[in-house]
Amino acid sequence: MTINQTQYGQYEHGQPFHQGGGTWRRSDKWTSNGGVVDFDLLFVVDKDDDSPLHDKSNGGYSADCSCCWLNFAHSHLLHEQRTNRGEKT
């Protein structure tokens, strides 16, 4: 499990789990410096995907990635995998 400290708070990666079919998800926990807790359920590549949440802002959006196109939270590794193989949705 990975914990990232940012200037705004702490982001803790959850354990990936198999949702069915070929789908893997992960529930990550965000805790702001003020103590507010929020959870992100994101799509990941597989059980070993510990990459950070993909940031769609600042040019990170790609219409070649179905998760970006559908506005689904997803890992950076999944984004790279989908855009590198030229997936179109």
So where are the chain's domains?
3-84
Which letter, b or e, does each residue of 40-68 get, where b requires 16 or more Cβ atoms within 10 Å of its Cβ? eebbbbeeebebebbebeeeeebebbbbb
Predicted model pTM: 0.82
Residue 77's pLDDT is what?
Answer: 95
Residue 89's pLDDT is what?
Answer: 42
Residue 71's pLDDT is what?
Answer: 93
Cβ pair 84, 66 in contact under 8 A: no
Instruction: Give me the residues of the chain with pLDDT under 50, please.
Output: 88-89
